[in-house]
Amino acid sequence: MTSTPDSDAPEGVQGDSLNEGDALNETADVSASEADAEIAEDVVEVLEAAGEIVETAEAEEELEAAEVVEDAEAIVQTPAEPDPRLLAAHDLALAALHEITPAATVGPAADYAVEPGGAVSLRFHNRLPGYPGWYWTVTLAVVEGSEPTVLEVELMPGAGALLAPEWVPWATRLAEYHVQQAALAEAAGAADDESDDSESDDDSDEESDDLDDFDDTDASDFDEDGSSILHAGDVDGVDIDELDEDADDEDDEDDEDDAR
């Protein structure tokens, strides 16, 4: 059931009650609005404070990173002076290298680099096939009161060792290949001509020797009947003189048989 205003109440009293209720409602609305505004302001303040904290942390991190970079750059730009004893320890470095690689693969000294902590890396040219631009590297260190010692021995690439060669178009490479093949063919032809010339010279020398031998022949080189004795009496291991004697004996026997 819904309640209705008392009809018996005076009209003025009912109006005043309505006005007071509306005023209370308006007051409550204002209070709620003010509370919401205060809460919103508090939230904004909290967010602003959080943003300031984040910005401060980021700024501190950036500052620390910048300091680290500056320190690293300072170390790189201002290397420590190398210890003279390490620079002079080439014999020690070579002895260490010869323990891991043949002496023929180690070239002359190239340069050196100062490592953090004062160690020195001595570099030697590499003669090992297949590693152009690489260096034999020996890292040395010294402690006060002791002699230099070897820390590490390794084969390390140089500045341009790992770079790909400059690209050359295929047409250019093919033209260079054809030029190389033509040069090789020309060199082979020249070698063949020299070989032919040397063989012809040998043949002419042999013919000249034969003519010289013929010119040296005189009458003493022939028998009394004029036959040549240049065969020295033997032909393929058979004594020709014995064959002639056997033939004469057979002729004499035949004559005796006929006489009988």
Q: Across the chain, what does the average pLDDT equal? A: 74
What burial letters (b/e) apply to 42-64, b meaning 16+ CB within 10 Å?
Answer: eeeeeeeeeeeeeeeeeeeeeee
Let me know: does 109 contact 93? Beta carbons within 8 Å.
no
The pLDDT score that the predictor gives to residue 54 is 72
Task: Give the residue from 188, 105, 221, 195 showing the smallest Cα distance to 153.
Answer: 105
Question: Cα Rg for the chain, rounded, in angstroms?
Answer: 59
Helix (H, G, I), strand (E, B) or coil at 6: coil
Name the more confident of 15 and 187.
Answer: 187
Q: What tens digit of pLDDT does each residue of 60-91 get?
A: 787 777 776 666 555 554 455 788 888 889 99
Give the DSSP H or E segment for 177: helix 170-215
Name the more confident of 46 and 93.
Answer: 93
Q: What tens digit of pLDDT does each residue of 166-225 get?
A: 888 999 999 999 999 999 999 988 888 777 666 666 666 666 666 566 555 555 555 555
Q: Which of 8-17, 118-127, 212-221, 232-241 has the lowest mean pLDDT?
A: 8-17
The pLDDT score that the predictor gives to residue 118 is 86
The pLDDT score that the predictor gives to residue 194 is 77
The pLDDT score that the predictor gives to residue 140 is 93
Q: Is the confidence at residue 123, as pLDDT, over 90? A: yes
The pLDDT score that the predictor gives to residue 13 is 46
The pTM (predicted TM-score) of the whole model is: 0.37
The pLDDT score that the predictor gives to residue 191 is 83
How far apart, in whole angstroms, are the C-alpha atoms of residue 165 and residue 92? 35
